Amino acid sequence: PPAIDASRNDASPRVTIGRPVTLWCSVSGHPFPTITWRKDGEEVKPSDAIRILDDGQMLELLDTKKEHAGTWTCTAENDAGARELEIQLDVWIPPVVRVSSEAPIKAIGETVTLFCEASGNPPPSLGWTKGGQPIINSVEGVRISLKGTRLDIPHMERSDVGDYTCNAHNEAGSAESTIHVDVLGTYFLMSLL
């Protein structure tokens, strides 16, 4: 039966979205095997985005997309039998981040809560800054949730006014999103008699 040499592939190949990647299926056997590629069970044909070269022993993704992540299978077949090689491809995606608050403007003494939503692969780690300075949890002041997805300012003071930024980073890149936190002004209403 055919033999497949898997050593040319990384043990767990990963590629950043938009970059090219090559998957290898180096085969031997007499007669020389026919090679077919499948992605998650579906047969793969050459296209603008996918090149299959060297009698099928090399598959190139020219512009990797999110949907290219998953199981790629190369099957080598001849009269003597068939062999398969499975390759798990991981596609890294840079973070996308968004900061939000139901009410970033509050009266002095009230609580302001900021939320940080981030996506990416691998899942990004989060950090907060105010005016460019890293924020750390304090006993009386700002509190940041365990994974960094929420920041609470429990008793708003004038010193809490400013730009709060959530930074997200992973192996594929980084991103940030900023929100301005302010205190409500004091207004006097005069009744007209």
Distance CA 7, CA 25 (A): 9
CA-nearest of 187, 167, 184 to 175 is 167
**All structural domains of the chain:** 3-92 (2.60.40.10), 101-183 (2.60.40.10)
Pseudo-torsion of CA 22, 175, 136, 130, nearest 10°? 160
The number of C-alpha atoms within 13 Å of 150 and in the hemisphere containing its C-beta is 9
- Say what the pLDDT of residue 122 is: 97
* Position 187 pLDDT exceeds 60: no
Torsion of CA 22, 28, 34, 35, to 10 degrees: -20
pLDDT digits (tens, 9 = 90+) for 93-121: 999 999 999 988 999 999 999 999 999 99
Q: pLDDT for 27-82, tens place per residue?
A: 999 999 999 999 999 999 999 999 999 999 999 999 999 999 999 999 999 999 99
CB 73 within 8 A of CB 37: yes
- Region at 40 (left for phi over 0; alpha for psi -120 to 50; beta for the rest): left
Q: Are strands 133-134 and 81-100 parallel, antiparallel or unpaired?
A: unpaired
Predicted confidence (pLDDT) per residue in 150-172, tens digit? 999 998 999 999 999 999 999 99
Q: CB of 184 within 8 A of CB of 28?
A: no
pLDDT at 136: 83
* pLDDT average, residue stretch 4-9: 94
pTM check: above 0.85: no
